[in-house]
Structure 1
Amino acid sequence: MRLLLTSLAAALLAGCATSTPPLPPHILSTYVVLGEQGVPTARVITDAPACPTLEADGRALPMQVRAAPATIPLRPTASAPEDSKPSAFPVLTCEAPLPAGTRSATVAGVALPAPRMEARRIVVIGDTGCRLKKADHAWQPCNDPEQAPFADVSAAAARWQPDLVVHVGDYHYRENPCPDGNAGCAGSPWGYGWDAWREDFFRPAEPLLRAAPWVVVRGNHETCVRAGQGWWRFLDPRPLLQGRDCNAPADDATGDYSDPYAVPLGGDAQLLVLDTAATSWRGLKPGDTGYARYRDAYAKTDALSQRAAWNLLTNHQPILGFGAGLDKASQSYLQLGDLGLQQAFGAANPMLLPPRVQALLSGHVHLWEQVSFKTDHPSQFVTGFSGTLEDVVPLPDDVSAVQPAPGAVIHQFSAWQGGFGFMTMERTAADTWAIAVHDRHGVVRNRCSLQGRQSSCVLARVE
């Protein structure tokens, strides 16, 4: 009954919410990303010839050019050359660090979300774009907000008034041109330039970008052979440097990997951000670039975890989650946790994650999922259900024998397939979080709790 009443209240709030004020001329997006140790950086994307001025607590601060307008020559991509094109970025990306303790900041009259000393209300989303992929014969109806609902998800999540937003990766999905005669995606931009990034992410995400600072996690759709150029120009919190900008294929071994970093959440807790975009579900072997880089990332993540008693780790590919797919004979099979990460991390620790990690926040599998274990593994949450085509091959009714990773024995499991939405986390004690699963309109569809490494939900399956 309480779940139902909360859901009805959320629906009423959704119906009376106001829209986000429009951006001024020449300002295409404003947002704040958090980087190492939670340092906030204000970003602006503009089609003006120069960067605007940032106002922080009444002080005028110049913004610097992060990326100048450019059209990048065509490079090898995940698609055939005839289905690819040069990436055009006819926009200026500007940035400036927000001074510590900033209470209010604006740019071109647009209010920026100031970071909180303690993040107690967190929105988690993932896999948000509209899928246009020739190789998969996937043509999501981007023109139908019912079937490509990220704008609704973003607006509903913004109304929840979070302190922090975590996107677990895969922002960009419009890779190939919509086929002639397909009304569902007719006229959609495609490729890896600004026009596709704007329609796939920045335009629908605007309410949520203006609601709270973001932690951005890199997905496999943001590797160098896909949308890595836009990832580095727009989202990654680190400096944009030649050689890791994904423009030259010879530099991909640099551009595809990044060191982990920590974002303090307050109260002796932190978020560990891990770039695993370039891992392979087929596995990694000693001697592979990824194997060495992810073993190194594990060691650095373990060291970072020592700074706080409680750690949430966020990366794109679930290490301890799973999904289901169909093989060439249309037979269902389980897609277990990412094998490449399990191999690289498992070489350092058979339990796969640093001991102080409480829970994992991931995406990649297009559903919502919660997994808790009898073994001493952290809970896994999967939030790949915020806009792209959903994975609807049914998971087994009985998952007690499923081991997403070797030795990981499931204790509690919950899932929602075929529904779009977002997850929220509210911290209620030092090691305890109240978790809710919301649909695209903000209506609560399930409630869960996380205490230590153990998690459980009211509903085993959301219908």
Structure 2
Amino acid sequence: MQSIILILLSLLLAASESPARVEALLQPQDPNALRIAVVGDYGDGSQTEADVAALIHSWQPDYVLTVGDNNYPVGAAEDIDAVIGRFFNDYIAPYRGDYGDGAAANQFFPALGNHDWGTTAGEPPVPQPYLDYFSLPDGPGQERYYDMRLGPVHIFTLDSDPHEPDGVAATSPQARWLQDALAASDAPWKLVVLHHAPYSSGLHGSTTYMRWPFGEWGADAVLAGHDHDYERLDVDGLPYFVNGLGGDSRYWFLIPLPGSQARYNKDAGAMLIEATPDQMTFQFITRSGELIDSYTIDSAASNGAPLATQPPTQVKAPRPNPFLRPSQRQVE
């Protein structure tokens, strides 16, 4: 019986959708575009995480965002530097860990995931190791949720965990803060980042309590994780992304939701966002450099409507993976 179950799970994984592969170099669509890498469900210290981190470094992004689950298994203080700073210390400031000098200014902006909430302290309880490790924009969320303007993009990072003291309902203090902050922003692009996906065809499925009216409030896209797969959905004209292939185990898909437009779970990877004041492109790329999905919004040409997706592209890293042992590296 166990063998049958394993076979069925393997078939489900193999059935996931993947586009054709085209050999080419990934080039910025605009040399002046802001580059943001987005990784999720990654912080387990594995070779897979190292591969994804090397991929992200090869893009030389201006910033790195996460959609949560930064510190497996339970968000403990003794693990956090080995699973985050070891791979991303050059984007973190102030960095007080053991793996490098850190960045001159902080370029690493995480979201809280359920695993990050595994170790708490205080009253009400908060994820203290996470809050101690990072220095994030302050505000009503006391670094659990926050916002920051990065060039033409305004990022609104939420805490979607049910333990959040300010609540996760659409009428909660956290939601009221988001609604007001979105309304006050004059940024060309407004992205909402959180862990639990409001819409997902994956194993965890949709987190319905996070189905806030993001589009009505002014968001241009929603980025999430939690399910260890990649999915792009269109819900009432608003793109939702699930980006949970950053290093931990992979999940299979269940029945695709209405609006599911791209699904993938065959290998680990991360997202690359390129943004100018007039255009924003989202790509999911595997650790081997395969472009799985590309989605572009052009505000000037189509008032925010998506353009046709770009042809698949093969990414070639400009330098060797620094996290492989010398014996594992191939000379090109």
TM-score, scaled to structure 1:
0.50
Which residue of structure 1 lines up, in the alignment, with residue 200 of structure 2? Answer: 322
Residue 119 and residue 207 in structure 1: after superposition, are their counterparts in 2 closer, same or farther (change >3 A)? same
Measure, in 2, the Cα distance between the counterparts of 1:362 and 1:174.
19
Which residue of structure 1 lines up, in the alignment, with residue 112 of structure 2? Answer: 218
1:58-105 Cα shifts (integer Å, max 9, x gaps): xxxxxxxxxxxxxxxxxxxxxxxxxxxxxxxxxxxxxxxxxxxxxxxx
1:420 CA drift (Å): 0.3
Measure, in 2, the Cα distance between the counterparts of 1:220 and 1:266.
30
Alpha-carbon contact 1:366-1:388 (below 8 Å) kept: yes
1:428 CA drift (Å): 4.4
Which residue of structure 1 lines up, in the alignment, with residue 283 of structure 2? Answer: 436
- Tell me the secondary structure at the aligned position of residue 223 of structure 1: helix
Alpha-carbon contact 2:221-2:239 (below 8 Å) kept: yes
Which residue of structure 2 lines up, in the alignment, with residue 305 of structure 1? Answer: 182
Q: 1:151 aligns with which of 31, 37, 50?
A: 50
> Greater strand share, 1 or 2?
1
Measure, in 2, the Cα distance between the counterparts of 1:154 and 1:359.
24
1:292 CA drift (Å): 6.2
Which residue of structure 2 lines up, in the alignment, with residue 228 of structure 1? Answer: 127
1:163 CA drift (Å): 1.1
1:415 CA drift (Å): 1.4
Is 1:338 matched up with 2:222?
no
Alpha-carbon contact 1:302-1:354 (below 8 Å) kept: no
Is 1:4 matched up with 2:61?
no
Is 1:417 matched up with 2:265?
yes
Alpha-carbon contact 1:301-1:354 (below 8 Å) kept: no
- Tell me the secondary structure at the aligned position of residue 122 of structure 1: strand
Measure, in 2, the Cα distance between the counterparts of 1:428 and 1:443.
24
Alpha-carbon contact 2:37-2:65 (below 8 Å) kept: yes
Residue 128 and residue 2 in structure 1: after superposition, are their counterparts in 2 closer, same or farther (change >3 A)? closer
Residue 289 and residue 235 in structure 1: after superposition, are their counterparts in 2 closer, same or farther (change >3 A)? closer
- Tell me the secondary structure at the aligned position of residue 267 of structure 2: coil
1:289 CA drift (Å): 7.0
Is 1:296 matched up with 2:201?
no
- Tell me the secondary structure at the aligned position of residue 290 of structure 1: coil
Measure, in 2, the Cα distance between the counterparts of 1:158 and 1:272.
23
Unaligned runs of 5+ in 1: 11-117, 131-141, 176-190, 240-253, 281-287, 326-334, 346-350, 404-409
Measure, in 2, the Cα distance between the counterparts of 1:315 and 1:279.
14
- Tell me the secondary structure at the aligned position of residue 38 of structure 2: strand
Which residue of structure 2 lines up, in the alignment, with residue 394 of structure 1? Answer: 253
Alpha-carbon contact 1:157-1:442 (below 8 Å) kept: no
Measure, in 1, the Cα distance between the counterparts of 2:43 and 2:247.
6
Which residue of structure 2 lines up, in the alignment, with residue 277 of structure 1? Answer: 161
| RMSD (CA atoms) | 3.5
1:203-240 Cα shifts (integer Å, max 9, x gaps): 1334655687112211111226469221011025157x
AA aligned opposite 1:324:
G
1:383 CA drift (Å): 1.3
Which residue of structure 2 lines up, in the alignment, with residue 129 of structure 1? Answer: 43
- Name the larger-Rg structure: 1
1:401-455 Cα shifts (integer Å, max 9, x gaps): x35xxxxxx2x6101113101110112452x212222111444333222342647
Residue 420 and residue 364 in structure 1: after superposition, are their counterparts in 2 closer, same or farther (change >3 A)? same
Measure, in 2, the Cα distance between the counterparts of 1:213 and 1:361.
18
Kindly indicate whether structure 1 or structure 2 has the higher relative contact order, using CA contacts under 8 Å at least 6 residues apart.
2
AA aligned opposite 1:360:
V
Residue 428 and residue 353 in structure 1: after superposition, are their counterparts in 2 closer, same or farther (change >3 A)? closer
**What pairs with 1:169-208 in structure 2 (closer than 5 Å)?**
169-175=68-74, 192-194=76-78, 196-206=79-89
Q: 1:360 aligns with which of 214, 217, 222?
A: 222
AA aligned opposite 1:314:
V
Which residue of structure 2 lines up, in the alignment, with residue 447 of structure 1? Answer: 294
Q: 1:264 aligns with which of 123, 140, 149?
A: 149
Residue 261 and residue 324 in structure 1: after superposition, are their counterparts in 2 closer, same or farther (change >3 A)? closer
TM-score, scaled to structure 2:
0.68
Which residue of structure 2 lines up, in the alignment, with residue 120 of structure 1? Answer: 34
Alpha-carbon contact 2:229-2:265 (below 8 Å) kept: yes
Residue 297 and residue 454 in structure 1: after superposition, are their counterparts in 2 closer, same or farther (change >3 A)? farther
AA aligned opposite 1:299:
R
Measure, in 1, the Cα distance between the counterparts of 2:144 and 2:112.
12
Residue 440 and residue 304 in structure 1: after superposition, are their counterparts in 2 closer, same or farther (change >3 A)? same
Residue 279 and residue 413 in structure 1: after superposition, are their counterparts in 2 closer, same or farther (change >3 A)? farther
- Tell me the secondary structure at the aligned position of residue 176 of structure 2: helix
> What is the aligned-residue identity percentage?
21
AA aligned opposite 2:161:
A
Measure, in 2, the Cα distance between the counterparts of 1:220 and 1:121.
27
Measure, in 2, the Cα distance between the counterparts of 1:417 and 1:456.
23
Measure, in 2, the Cα distance between the counterparts of 1:424 and 1:437.
6
- Tell me the secondary structure at the aligned position of residue 165 of structure 1: strand
How many pairs align? 266
Measure, in 2, the Cα distance between the counterparts of 1:193 and 1:355.
36
Measure, in 2, the Cα distance between the counterparts of 1:164 and 1:278.
28
Measure, in 1, the Cα distance between the counterparts of 2:275 and 2:137.
28
